[in-house]
Amino acid sequence: MSPGIIGKKIGMTQVFTAEGLVVPVTLVKAGPCVVTQRKTPTTDGYSAIQLGLVEFVKKNKTNKPTTGHLKKSSAEGVKYMREFRLRPGDADLKVGDRVLAGEFKPTDKLDVIGMPKGRGFAGVVKRHHFRGGDATHGSMFHRAPGSIGASSFPSRVFPGTRMGGRMGSDRVTVKNLEIVEVDTEDNILLVKGAVPGPNGSYILLRRSAR
């Protein structure tokens, strides 16, 4: 049993259950993946596997260090690689083994990790949901952050104070999402609900620990 798989987000749709209920799902092209490295406690201090997503990649787009690394697993067409920690009960996968969507089944729970779209610079109203000031005539305080610290003491701004800045483009993990359906022919998983990231982005699907 693989601890997880790498996929690409296709988009969202909805399916009907046997009871006639509508369920929103996200289609994920999960795999095929190949084990490109095996880390063991004796050599690396912990147990993990490195998976690579097999897709069409031009040879001139892969540098020499990556090409040499992939020769050990005889993996071609791998550009995106990520590591998954092995937990008790996971299969002892070897370098060169393939991981497909068929290893998962409906009702399995996954933690989905993705990178959302970056929104650029945003103020405190949009970024942190500040209420803002009065919008009436004469007010000069509409969407400003207000006071960010006292003057005499402590005479500085505390780290972590909510202010304007770059919004989005932070790694997001959504836990305990349920697999609704598995298409083994096309390696597609139908995951209940929304997953982070735009359509076409890489996402990691890791078996939930809880």
What pLDDT digit, counting tens, does each position of 198-207 carry?
999 999 999 8
pTM as predicted: 0.80
What pLDDT digit, counting tens, does each position of 92-109 carry?
888 888 888 888 888 889
Q: pLDDT at position 149, please?
A: 87
**159 & 193 share domain:** no
**159 & 183 share domain:** no
Residue-averaged pLDDT of the chain = 88
**123 & 113 share domain:** no
The CATH number for 60's domain is: 2.40.30.10
Q: pLDDT at position 123, please?
A: 94
Q: What is the 3-state secondary structure (H, E, C) of the chain?
A: CCCEEEEEEEEEEEEECCCCCEEEEEEEEECCEEEEEEECCCCCCCCEEEEEEECCCCHHHCCHHHHHHHHCCCCCCEEEEEEEECCCCCCCCCCCCEECHHHCCCCCEEEEEECCCEEEEECHHHHHCCCCCCCCCCCCCCCCCCCCCCCCCCCCCCCCCCCCEEEECCCEEEEEEEEEEEECCCCEEEEECCCCCCCCCEEEEEECCC
**92 & 193 share domain:** yes
**150 & 188 share domain:** no
Q: How confident is the model at residue 60 (pLDDT cuts 50, 70, 90)?
A: confident
**78 & 141 share domain:** no
Does the structure show a pLDDT above 90 at 71?
A: no
**25 & 58 share domain:** yes
Lowest-confidence pick of 36-45, 86-95, 111-120, 161-170: 86-95
**43 & 147 share domain:** no
**43 & 103 share domain:** yes
Q: How many domains does the chain have?
A: 2
**156 & 191 share domain:** no
**158 & 195 share domain:** no
Structural domain including 144 reads 119-168
Q: How confident is the model at residue 172 (pLDDT cuts 50, 70, 90)?
A: very high
**164 & 123 share domain:** yes
